[in-house]
Amino acid sequence: MDEAPVKLGAMLYTLVDPNPGHEVAYNRWYERDHFYGGCMIGPGILAGARWVATREYKDLRFPADSGVAIPTDAGSYLATYWVQRGHEAEHFGWSSKQVFELYEAGRGFDERTHAHTALYTHQRAWGRDPDGVPVELALDHRFAGLVSVHVDRADGVKHAAFDEWFEDEGRALLLGTDSPIAIVCSWRPIIPRGSDGEAPMQLGSGPGTPQRSMQICFLDDAPKPHWDRFRAYAAAVDASGVARVTLAAPFLPTVPGTDRYTDQLW
């Protein structure tokens, strides 16, 4: 099959901290209930995965002042959900209603704080390998690491221009043949209108302005040994005049069914 008919359309990106003392309870509630009840059983969902930033990994984040995670080390657990192209409105309409129904049924978890929860539309994807993992399968592939790079584009610079800069100049910095990065995919935030995006809890910093873009990188190895590559890439972004990096954040995959990493968050 040369062209798969199932395409990635959008994403929910939700970065959350359990309140100190509730780490294990939060982890178990999320993976055993909310991961499924809040998203995965909904229409149009393709895949979901959870990631974690230990104290060691939070300390790698930059820049020191971020418009995404406030403060920069806010947010220990990241959940990412892929939504099928053409089913975005159906899924997000369902999930907006579902989260209220779950809380009304006593299936919420109050001892948590959202750092950044927003919806994004998928724009493009690049792969290191000629016949590598398709972006649609990235969450199911169980990559060894994820890095999200949030940028604010310069005034008047459209997202397509940032993607073009990446194609021409940035791609080689992240996707060289010796790189552990297998996929880079680009995203634009969905800016809520009116009551869209309401939830029974505060959702953190929000999607930012229409000048915000994000890239998600999937790695075959843990991000920490390769962090200098991301620092060099961010320096190139900042020097380009096209955009500036407002948060680069690395994560490890959680281990479902275990409490691994719950004692390493702070």
Q: Are 259 and 24 in contact (CB under 8 A)?
A: yes
CA angle, 117 then 114 then 225, to 5°: 80
265 lies in some domain: no
For residue 126, what is the domain's CATH number?
A: 3.30.70.100
Residue type, 114: H
Report yes or no on 186 lying in a domain: yes
In a domain, residue 169? The reply is: yes
Instruction: Check: CB of residue 130 under 8 Å from CB of residue 175.
Output: no
Task: Look at residue 173 and tell me if it is in a domain.
Answer: yes
Count structural domains, the chain: 1
Distance CA 149, CA 252 (A): 15
Tell me whether residue 16 is in a domain: yes
Within a domain: residue 180? yes
1 domain residue, yes or no: no
Cβ atoms of 93 and 87 closer than 8 Å: no
pLDDT tens-place values along the chain, 266 residues long: 567 899 999 999 999 999 999 999 999 999 999 999 999 999 999 999 999 999 999 999 999 999 899 999 999 999 999 999 999 999 999 998 999 999 999 999 999 999 999 999 999 999 999 999 999 999 999 999 999 999 999 999 999 999 999 999 999 999 999 999 999 999 999 987 655 455 555 666 778 889 999 999 999 999 999 999 999 999 999 999 999 999 999 999 999 999 999 999 99
Q: Which domain holds residue 182?
A: 8-253
Residue 261 lies in a domain: no
